[in-house]
Structures are given as structure tokens and as C-alpha cells.
Amino acid sequence: MEISDLTAYAEMKYHIREEHKWADFPGFSVLADPGSGKWLALLMRQWDSMSGAEIQRCDIKCGQDFMMMHDRPYLCQPFRMYGSRWTGVTFDSRTEKDVVFRLFDEAVSALTPHGCTIVLENSPSETQVVCPETGRRTSDEDFRLPSAAVPDRILRMIHLYEYRGSSFTQKCRNFLIQGKFMEDYEDNAPWNGELRCYFPVYHDLTIGQLRGYFTWRTGVRKGTFSPVSLSLAYIYLYELLNRIGASSAQDSMDRMNAFEKGFLDKGMGDAVMRRNLHRWMFDFAVMNSLPVETALCHASGRAVKTDTALAVLRDPGNHSDDEIFSSLCVFAKKKPEQSLIMRKYPDKGKHVFAAVWKEASSISADGRNPFAICFGAQKEYPWHPLVNAVYHEKRKHLNMEYTLTERRYDSLNFDLKTFNALLHETDRILRLSLRCGHYLKKADGCGWAEDCIRRVIEAERKAEEEASRPVITIDISSLDKIREDASLTRDSLLTEEDMEDYEDDVVKTGLSMDDEEDAEYSSIIPYRELLTLLLQGKSVSSYLSERHLMPSIAADTVNEALFDLIGDNVLECDGDTLTLVEDYRDDVLDLLGGKTNGK
């Protein structure tokens, strides 16, 4: 953030322009209240010859309560001003706009006068009333003492105001009390003047302005949005935030949506009011437990984008390459999508960047996960909803104190230097691997990730090689023909003696030659002598050699034939050695009729 952001905000919201009061000190300027001339902020710009950069700082007259409650590295004691009413601000990449704008709002709000003056005289010679928001004298058109022409409801509302101090909390409390009293009031006395007031409430308005506001509100509630001073429009929004004139939280939300469409979308209002409205609607939805979708509709687009990206990077295993790469781009200093790799190899580059982050997330560097190194830990911080609105929460238990908190990854704890070094090294090593030229220098502080990146690139290379190999397709329907050919080959290798033994076995089992192919174990009959030798513990080398049989084929044939009967392999083949599994010795013996003499 820079000083120019603050000056633009002051001019847009409060019509306060930067004033350069000292010709001899061009780097110093002030933001002052146009009416009273009181300083709100002292701005300082100084050139640092050592660093060759401009140093920007300011003192804001907002008190030091916020600085004491919130630890912000850019907030400190005032640089030039004195006293507890001033807070110093340093402008750099860490400075948060919302915080500084909030402090400036506090400074502006502190200028608004509160209270009243009581004069004990019988007959004042002259009465002068000064309008608190402009500092000018008012005329009889602006304010008159209560009379019969003033609606009784308005007079009674005025008397409800309680003077218990000038705190902002008391101001909000009075607004809620008076607003609830005037919740269903309608009027018909238009007022078309211009009013500029910080955090406007009923108590800041004259009788004519009050009647004009309630007249305008009557039309709004009937669906007619007409131009009106923004201060009066803000009062209407404050009412909805306090659920004044709304039957429920959802009803308040619906009315705020209608206000945006009927007032802001029609060119009435400004960008600041729209931004405030969206922020308030988000806070209001969360506070009142409205659906998550409702809250997200009004959340800051940048905040939603950042939170979504953090959720993806924290748990990359459950997300696609596209999601991971898009999330990496959210926090990248240089846009990875515009790198040379992404222009030449978009799909490959996206996959490698995502794979590197996945791989890095599975390892630890310095005892911590890289996500924790780059983005810190999720912590609790105080949450102050509707802090820049007139809002008073009516607690159910007056004696109960509580603090609202939110859990988040604070940007102040981000180590984006390490994060961007990881992306840089991925880009550098990938360019070397693909030999695409325009090579990069090695980044500092990312040596721990170099092996990780190279593993990913090597795995990608092997995967591409595997994918490039020809695919062999086996037609399952041809397996029957293969089996038939194998049977013919087997039969051709049998000797006459084998066939005689085979036919004897067929006769003994009562099978015909036509039935033998249907027997569950008919395939082992030619191997009866083989099984017998194994049962007797004798060598089968000669048997296999004489019949030109390979040990592995013989083992597979027997195991396949007996699998349905025994449910497991009965023969094991280790090179040229066949052995019978001892657990199935008795089962094989039974199948051979209990004989092991080979007869």
C-alpha cells in the first residue's frame, strides 16, 4: 500500500483533499477536516539515499487502541506527532489497506461532536445552532424547536436519546433504541437537501431531515428508490444491519439486495457504498448463520480466490493438475502460465508443476512441510464484524463477555520468496530437461527441492517411454484353439508305451475315448509315471528328457488339470527341477488309486 491509496480513499469517501502546507518541506502534507481544519493525518514522504527508494509514513489521529489490540508490523508510535491520540503507519508491501482505511475512519469519527449544552436563562437574547456535520450556522428552515407541527412520534423518539457519554458504542445503542421505536413509522414530508455526516444516525439530523428520511424510507419499503443524500441512505442500511424493519435476518439480507439493485445499480450512490455494503452483507450472513452460499456471494473476490487456492495447495492429493496449477498462479510473483515452458508445452508443463508441488508436499524440509514453510500455520485472530458500521448487538446475557475469532492463514506469515523459488527451480530444471533454451539462473534457498523436482521429471520421462511402447492385444476368443493345438502337440509327443498306459487307465476309470476330454483330471493320465516317480522321491530328469518335455510345461499341465480337484498347485518347478508339494502328497496318491509302483 502507498500514501496515494489513503489520499484517494479520503477524497472519495469524505471529500478530503491532501494539503501541502510547507513549500520548504514538499514531502510533508496533511489530511484535514474541511469544516474545522483539524488535522486527521500527517503524511511524510522521504527519499532514502542508501536504498535508493522513497520511504512513506504517516501519523493518523485515531488513538492507539487498535495498535495495542492488534499486532501489525507496520503500526507503531507516531513519528512526528505526540500523545496517545496518534498512531504511526509505515507504508510498504505488508501494509493492509482495510486496516489503514479503518484507522482513518476512526480519526474522522472522533471529530464528530457529541453531547449537548444546557443554558439556564429565562429569555435568551439570541439563539444560534451550529450543524455538527458541516460546522455552519443553520437557519430556521433546518431546525425549529418542537411545536405542534412536528409529529408526536418524532418528538418521542428524540426524547429516547440517552446522554451516557460520547463513545461510539453508546451512539450505536441509541440508534438501535430509537430505530426500533420508529420501526413502522411513515411520513410524507420530502427533504431534498444535501447532508454529509460520518456514521450518520437519527440524532445527527434536524427535524426536517428526519421527516425527509422517513418519507424516503416509506417509498423504499414500497419498492420506490429515489435519489437521496448518501448519509440518509447509509441510515437505511444501518437499520437493516440492526434488523430494524425486517422480520428476520434473511428478510434484512433480501432488503439489502433490493437496495443494491434499486439504488446502487441505478446510478445512485458510489463505489465506496457498494464496497461497504458487500462487506457488511458478508459479515451479517456469517453472524446470523445464513447459508454459506449467501455469505460467499458477498465475500471479497480476492479473499475467496486466496482461500480456495490455499485449500487446494494444502491438500493437493485430492485435486487435479488444473486446480493445483491455477492455485500456484494465485501466489506466484511471475505468472507461470506465461513462461516459455507453458507456451511450448502447456499440458506437460502444467502436469509437472502440479506433480512437483504434490511431491514436495509429501516430504519435509527443516522438519516442516513445504506448505507450512510457505504459508505458515493456521491461527486464531480476533474478528470484528461490522466494525465500520453503526451496529449494536443486543446480548441475551448482559454479564457475559465473549470474543469472536476467525481461523486463517495470515498473509503476514507468508514466505512467498521460498514459494516462488520453488516455482523458479521447477521452470529452470524443466527447461534443461526439454532443451528448450532461454535457461534460467539457479534460485537461492531452494536446494532442498532440487532432488524432488528431478525425481518428478524423471518419472514423467519414464511414463512417456512406457506409453510409447506398442500395445499387444490378445484375442481371448482364440484361447480354445490354442488349447486344442496344445493337446495335439502333447499327444504327438507320447510314446506307444505311454499311450498303452493311458488307454489302460481310461478302461480302469470306465471312460471311453470320447469321454476322456470331459474328465476333470484326464490330462494327468499321461503323466501318471511322472507323478509316481515324484511320490517315490525319484528323479524325473530322464523321464522328461526321453519325452522331450520341458519341466515348466509339464508342471503347468498337471497343475491346471488338478486345480479344480485340489484347489492349488501340486507341482513346483525351479529351473529344471520338479518337486511335489508335500501338503498334497496324499491327495495325488488317492487320485492314482493309492499305488506308487507305476503298474
Q: Of 325, 341, 338, which is closest to residue 430 (Cα–Cα)?
A: 341
Strands, E assignment, 34-184:
39-48, 53-60, 75-76, 87-91
Rounded distance, CA 324 to CA 321, Å? Answer: 5
What is the chain's Cα-based Rg? 43
Average pLDDT of adjacent 10-residue blocks, the chain of 599 residues: 88 82 86 86 86 88 81 88 89 89 84 44 37 37 48 90 81 95 95 88 91 96 95 96 96 96 95 93 93 86 87 91 92 84 86 88 67 86 88 67 78 86 88 82 76 86 80 61 62 57 51 45 69 87 85 85 80 86 85 61
Rounded distance, CA 562 to CA 531, Å? Answer: 12
Q: Of 528, 370, 376, which is closest to residue 453 (Cα–Cα)?
A: 370
pLDDT at position 284: 95
pLDDT at position 505: 52
pLDDT at position 91: 92
Beta bridge partners of 88: 59, 76
What b-and-e string marks burial along 410-447, b requiring 16 or more CB atoms within 10 Å of the CB? Answer: eeeeeeeebbbbbbbbbbbbbbebbeeeeeeeebeebe
Phi first, then psi, for residue 14 (nearest 5°) are -120, 0
SS3 sequence, 407-476?
A: EECCHHHCCHHHHHHHHHHHHHHHHHHHCCCCCCCCCCCCHHHHHHHHHHHHHHHHHHHHHHCCCCCCCH
pLDDT at position 485: 63
Query: Would strands 39-48 and 75-76 be described as parallel, antiparallel, or unpaired?
Result: unpaired
Q: Of 47, 11, 1, which is closest to residue 28 (Cα–Cα)?
A: 47
Residue 76: helix, strand or coil by DSSP?
Answer: strand
Alpha helices in 334-375 (DSSP H): 340-344, 346-361, 370-375
Whether the predicted model's global pTM rises above the 0.75 cut = no
Rounded distance, CA 74 to CA 90, Å? Answer: 5
The CA-atom distances, in angstroms, between 148 and each of 138, 153, 182, 190, 382 are 21, 12, 19, 18, 50
- All 3 cell numbers of residue 485? 493345438
- All 3 cell numbers of residue 168? 461510539
Element (H, E) at 239: helix 230-241
pLDDT at position 481: 64
pLDDT at position 436: 81
What b-and-e string marks burial along 369-405, b requiring 16 or more CB atoms within 10 Å of the CB? Answer: ebbbbbbeeeeeeeeebbebbbbbeeeeeeeeeeeee
Residue type, 270: D
| Displacement of CA 91 from its chain's centroid (Å) | 27
| Displacement of CA 482 from its chain's centroid (Å) | 59
- All 3 cell numbers of residue 425? 527451480
| Displacement of CA 365 from its chain's centroid (Å) | 24
Rounded distance, CA 146 to CA 531, Å? Answer: 122
pLDDT at position 302: 82
